[in-house]
């Protein structure tokens, strides 16, 4: 009989020692479903730092200083696997449209209002909005989707109330408190999704998503977020993270990583200079979608630069 490898004993010992080593955790290592606003923001009455969400973030930070403790890493991967299973169940037979954009977009700004309208338009078309779950453009898209069954005046009033605290840095507790109160007051919010991460846990997960697939691993979350947006992605103005998502999505399309390519729509801001035209992104994408023979890669025909919602929805309707 072959000698039992030493590493097998080490793994067995690690698994057996999980409970002893970790003690009481603020999260379920084997979640049976996605999170809700109420799950993550339990304890908000004592301030943002007291919420379950922030307790999990602090736990992730304690265990996550390089190198990550093996036992904690194992449990976090188990958690993320459970979230992926629940996410796959959620998205079955749904047409998901991603909205990617910057976290710094201020509430009440022209850009924020534009993305609220975008979220409403996507939801009204029968598709499900999915975002990265943070503040800014992501919050606006989830808010617009969740309230797409309400009258325009009601949504405008909600945005006006939110604009009392334009950004998270102004007053973290009040910022999230306003949104949580609104989200929990919605009687019948329209189904929509967010996929945030505790890697960026210092920022709040916006509460307007009816279903929240929150991960420890940002790499798993980032790749998966783009992959599940099988009905296309709308990119609005953002920073390095948004630009990264553009080219990661372009690669998934060009190589058919997850099947047929999906539309990529670049929505220009409603005021100010045209971001996508001036950033150089479109020029680089032009070269990205050329192979070494000079032929177009899959997905090139699905790129659209839009200046309004009508053009955006037309871009999402494109097929290869």
Same domain (yes/no): 111, 74? no
Same domain (yes/no): 115, 204? yes
Grouping H, G, I as helix, E, B as strand and the rest as coil, residue 31 is: coil
Q: Is residue 300 part of a domain?
A: yes
Q: What is the DSSP string of 206-247?
A: PTT-SEE--BS-HHHHHHHHHHH-TT-EEE-S--HHHHHHHH
Q: End of a domain among 44, 61, 88?
A: 88
Same domain (yes/no): 118, 257? yes
CA distance 101 to 35: 22
Domain count, the chain: 2
Q: Is residue 178 part of a domain?
A: yes
Range of the structural domain that residue 114 is part of = 95-316
Same domain (yes/no): 138, 236? yes
**pLDDT averaged over 10-residue windows placed end to end, the chain, 320 residues:** 57 64 85 95 97 95 73 87 95 97 97 98 98 98 98 98 97 98 98 97 95 96 97 97 97 97 98 93 95 95 98 95
Same domain (yes/no): 42, 186? no
Same domain (yes/no): 14, 152? no
Q: End of a domain among 70, 88, 106?
A: 88
> In the prediction, which pLDDT does 287 show?
94
> In the prediction, which pLDDT does 1 show?
42
Q: Is residue 262 part of a domain?
A: yes
Same domain (yes/no): 172, 31? no
Backbone angles phi, psi at 47, to 5 degrees: 105, 155
Residues 6+ apart with CB under 8 A from 7: none
Same domain (yes/no): 71, 102? no
Q: Is residue 2 part of a domain?
A: no
Same domain (yes/no): 68, 111? no
Q: Is residue 54 part of a domain?
A: yes
Q: Is residue 3 part of a domain?
A: no
Q: What is the DSSP string of 257-287?
A: TTSS---EEEEPPSSSS-HHHHSSHHHHHHH
Q: Which CATH number is 212's domain given?
A: 3.40.50.450
Same domain (yes/no): 232, 172? yes
Same domain (yes/no): 64, 167? no
Instruction: Give the residue from 198, 213, 193, 196 showing the smallest Cα distance to 82.
Output: 213
The residue written with tokens 């079955």 in the block is: 92
CA atoms within 13 Å, Cβ hemisphere of 134: 23
Q: Is residue 134 part of a domain?
A: yes
Q: Report CA Rg, the chain.
A: 21
Query: Cα–chain-centroid distance for residue 122?
Result: 16
Grouping H, G, I as helix, E, B as strand and the rest as coil, residue 103 is: coil
Q: End of a domain among 88, 118, 144?
A: 88
Same domain (yes/no): 219, 290? yes
CA atoms within 13 Å, Cβ hemisphere of 191: 10
List helix spans (H) across the chain. Answer: 6-16, 18-22, 37-40, 52-64, 70-91, 110-124, 137-146, 152-162, 172-185, 218-228, 240-254, 275-278, 281-288, 309-316
Q: Is residue 44 part of a domain?
A: yes
How many CB atoms neighbour CB 10 within 10 A? 11
> In the prediction, which pLDDT does 32 show?
86
Dihedral angle computed from the Cα positions of residues 52, 55, 61 and 63, in that order, rounded to the nearest 10 degrees: -100
């Amino acid at each position: 009989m072959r000698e039992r490898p030493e590493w097998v004993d080490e793994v067995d010992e690690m698994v057996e020692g999980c409970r002893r080593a970790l003690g009481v955790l603020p999260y379920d290592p084997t979640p049976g479903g996605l999170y809700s606003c109420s799950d993550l923001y339990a304890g908000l009455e004592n301030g943002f730092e007291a919420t379950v969400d922030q307790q999990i973030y602090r736990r992730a930070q304690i265990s996550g200083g390089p190198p990550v403790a093996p036992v904690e890493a194992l449990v976090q991967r188990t958690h993320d696997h459970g979230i992926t299973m629940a996410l796959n169940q959620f998205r079955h037979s749904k047409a998901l449209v991603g909205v990617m954009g910057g976290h710094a977009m201020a509430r009440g700004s022209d850009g924020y209002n534009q993305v609220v309208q975008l979220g409403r338009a996507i939801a009204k078309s029968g598709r499900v909005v999915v975002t990265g779950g943070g503040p800014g453009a992501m919050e606006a898209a989830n808010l617009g989707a969740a309230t797409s069954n309400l009258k325009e005046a009601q949504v405008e009033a909600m945005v006006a109330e939110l604009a009392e605290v334009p950004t998270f840095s102004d007053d973290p507790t009040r910022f999230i408190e306003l949104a949580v109160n609104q989200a929990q007051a919605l009687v019948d919010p329209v189904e929509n999704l967010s996929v945030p991460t505790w890697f960026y846990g210092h920022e709040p997960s916006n509460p307007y998503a009816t279903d929240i697939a929150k991960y420890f691993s940002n790499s798993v979350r980032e790749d998966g977020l783009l992959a599940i947006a099988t009905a296309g992605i709308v990119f609005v103005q953002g920073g390095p993270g948004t630009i990264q998502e553009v080219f990661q999505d372009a690669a998934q399309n060009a190589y058919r990583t997850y099947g047929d390519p999906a539309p990529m729509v670049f929505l220009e801001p409603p005021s100010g200079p045209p971001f996508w035209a001036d950033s150089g992104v479109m020029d680089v994408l032009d070269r990205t979608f050329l192979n070494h023979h000079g032929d177009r890669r899959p997905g090139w025909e699905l790129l659209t630069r839009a200046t309004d919602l009508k053009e955006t929805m037309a871009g999402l309707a494109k097929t290869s």
